[in-house]
Structure formats: C-alpha cells, structure tokens
Amino acid sequence: MTDSTVTGVTSAVSDKPRNPQTTRAVVIGCGHYLPERVVPNEAFTKTLDTSNEWIVARSGIERRHFAAEGETTSKLATRAAEAALANAGIAPESLDAIIVATSTPDLTFPSVATMVQAEIGALKAFAFDVQAVCAGFVYALANANALVVSGQAKRVMVIGAETFSRIMDWTDRSTCVLFGDGAGALILDAQAGFGTSDDRGILATDLNADGRQRDLLYVDGGVSTTGTAGYLRMQGNQVFRHAVEKLAQTAEDALAKAGLGAGDVDWIVPHQANIRIIQGTAKKLGLPMDQVIVTVQDHGNTSAASIPLALSVAATEGKLKPGDLIVTEAIGGGLAWGAVVLRW
C-alpha cells in the first residue's frame, strides 16, 4: 500500500447516484502483534476439570497467546502500530489521530493511545481510548470514520489491543480457557469518493447497546467500586444466545445503510469469540464459511483486538484484495454490539 492522498479512487463505473464531494476513510495499511508465549488447551487440564476436546468442541479455540510479565497492552499496541506504519509506508508524524480500543489499559489513566503516540513519535496526533469491550474495535472504527468524514482528521490509526490474561480468574474453567492477548492496527486515510457503494473505504456503520444486560458479562472490580482490577465474569450461554440473534441483524442493518445486501459481501471478518457463533452468523447471512476469516483457533477471544488481528492476518495471507467488500461485526460486555461495512 502507498502513501496516497485524495486521488486514485478505484471505483467501477456505476449508475448509482454520485456525490463527488464524498470523503471516505480508506484503509491504507494494517499490522498486528501477538505475544511470543503460545498456550495450548492442554495447559489448562493440569489445574482445571476441563479437556482439549471440550474447549475445541464448544468454542473452536486450540491455543492462545499470553503476554509476558511486564508486556503491557500499550506495548502490544505499539508493536501493532509500528507494523501498520511500515505496511502503509507512512511516517508517524503524518497521523492526525490515534484511537485505541481496549478494556485492559496499562493504567486507569492516561490512555493507552497517548502511550502509543509517544512511543511511535506521532506527536501531531491527538489520542484517546474507546471502551466497548469486544465491540470496541467496531466502535473505534465508527468514531474514526466520523472524524474523517467530518474533516476533523485526515489520517487516523485505529488499534485494538488487549491483555485479557490479566483479568482471568484461573479457577473459573468457564472463562479462563476462552481468552487471549494481542493487538491489531489499521490506518485510515481521507480519500475522495463518489458517494456510491463502489467507493473504497468505510461505507456504513451500525452501533448498538443494551445496558440492561450488563450482568451477563462484566468485570467484578474497578476504580470507583473495589479499587482493584477485578476478574471477568460471564454467563456464556446467555451471551451466546444474544450473539447469534444480534450479530447477523447488525451486519444486515449496516449493509442496508450502505445500499448493499449479504450477496455483495466478499468477506465477513467477525469478532473471534466462538466458532459456533461465527458459523451461526454466516449461516443467517446466507454466506459460506470460505467467505469468513477465522482466527479463533489460534488467538482465542482477544476482545477488541480480535477483528484487527483477523484483518491483518488475512491481509498478510493475501486473502483481502483491493475492492473486496468486508463486513466486520462484534458483540461484548454492555451489552454493546455493532458492524462496519468497508471496501478494502
């Protein structure tokens, strides 16, 4: 990918209404980082009443990465940011904004985004975190898109980075086998579009929340309650039920906003929580699994990092081609959920 600016739109000829003023947030680079330590399912059978067979059958997870001691979320985020800058071939000083989606920041404040800003030397960028748990990256992408289309920023780095291993209760088999650590980053650039669904870049977003469901997935500590970081608590089968119902709906709603349907989609890049949720959503959308990017077997559930990790892995493997239509969708604690439709 190149350091392109407001030209070079690869739009096919279309009879749809055109608005030549349209600014699109186009992906010009991506990158990811996974901690070195890989933990297979078998590692849990030493201390818990669980098995590789149960974990694979119920979740699709085979292994996950855990951060080393001292390897904080900002360090993972910085490595992913550096990889994305190299992939895009741009200088950090050209970034106008950095948004980090995370629920596991290094400190209560300052934000992880400001730490990344200093580490990579993006000193012209404003920086802030978004916290929407597993839907965090979708929320962050939607916010980045709003900054770009409103003219408040021309070039935005959007990162999902998590160290969920820090909030695991290692005695709770129903949660600690599911999560992993990692980071992924995308760089969005303001480019001119025609206002049609043939444009490259973000075409539509759909965000939702239902705070009445907060007891289904939460962390039992925090600054203004216990004064501790706390541990993740989840009623997995209840979250599962909401996920299957809500993810296909938000994907369809986002596609409809873009004037598109499931038949136009080249790739679903879903939040990687559970292979059965991923399969169920693809089925509801009427799309085969060979159009779905799946990394859950290798990464586990990395919360806000899972979508940018999956996008970057798929790009590295050469699966995503310029012009491909991608739908990302995610749900997590809150509940918060949503989808983004973008043309790569």
Tell whether residue 231 is a contact of ligand UT7 (CB under 6 A).
no
Q: How far is CA 111 from CA 115, 132, 140, 304, 327, in A?
A: 7, 14, 14, 15, 28
Q: Which two tokens stand for residue 17?
A: 């209404």
Our measurement of the distance from residue 108's CA atom to the centroid of its chain's CA atoms, rounded to an integer in Å, reads 21
Q: How far apart are the first and last CA of the chain?
A: 11
336/89 Cα distance (integer angstroms):
34
> What single-letter DSSP state applies at residue 13?
P
- Per CB under 6 A, the segment of 54-62, 82-90, 104-112, 308-316 that binds ligand UT7 is 54-62
Candidates 111, 75, 62; CA nearest to 300 is 62
Site for ligand UT7 in 265-324 (CB under 6 A): 273-274, 277, 301
Stretch binding ligand UT7 (CB under 6 A), from 55-63, 68-76, 148-156, 196-204: 55-63
- The residues, ordered by sequence, that sit 6+ positions from 118 with a Cβ below 8 Å of its Cβ are none
32 is catalytic: no
Characterize the bridge pairing of strands 37-40 and 23-33: unpaired
Residue given tokens 């050469």 in the structure block: 318
C-beta closer to ligand UT7: residue 188 or 217: 217
> DSSP letters along 162-231, please?
EEGGGG--TT-HHHHTTB-EEEEEEEEEEEE--SSTTSSEEEEEEEEE-GGGGGGEEES--TTTTSS---
Among 59, 102, 143, 205, binds ligand UT7 (CB under 6 A): 59
Q: Rounded to whole angstroms, how far apart are CA atoms 306 and 180?
A: 9
With CB under 6 A as the contact rule, the residue among 52, 54, 166, 230 that binds ligand UT7 is 54
Minimum distance from residue 243 beta carbon to ligand UT7 (Å): 5
We find the least distance from the C-beta atom of residue 48 to ligand UT7, in angstroms, to be: 7
* Catalytic-residue membership of 271: yes
Q: Which of 173, 257, 284, 319 binds ligand UT7 (CB under 6 A)?
A: 173
299 in catalytic set: no
* 174 in contact with ligand UT7 (CB under 6 A): yes
Among 136, 332, 334, 338, binds ligand UT7 (CB under 6 A): 332
240 binds ligand UT7 (CB under 6 A): yes
- Work out whether 337 is an interface residue with ligand UT7 (CB under 6 A): no
CB 307 → ligand UT7: shortest distance, Å? 11
- Binding of ligand UT7 by 63 (CB under 6 A): no
Helix spans in the chain (H):
52-59, 73-88, 112-120, 136-149, 173-176, 236-257, 275-285, 296-299, 306-316
Binding segment (CB under 6 A) for ligand UT7, from list 49-57, 221-229, 248-256, 282-290: 49-57
- Among the residue ranges 182-190, 234-242, 248-256, 279-287, the one whose residues contact ligand UT7 (CB under 6 A): 234-242
Q: Which of 5, 68, 237, 286 binds ligand UT7 (CB under 6 A)?
A: 237
Contact 28, 157 (CB under 8 A): no
Tell me which residues touch ligand UT7 (CB under 6 A): 50, 54-55, 58-59, 134, 173-174, 177, 236-237, 239-240, 243, 273-274, 277, 301, 331-332
Catalytic annotation, residues: 134, 271, 301
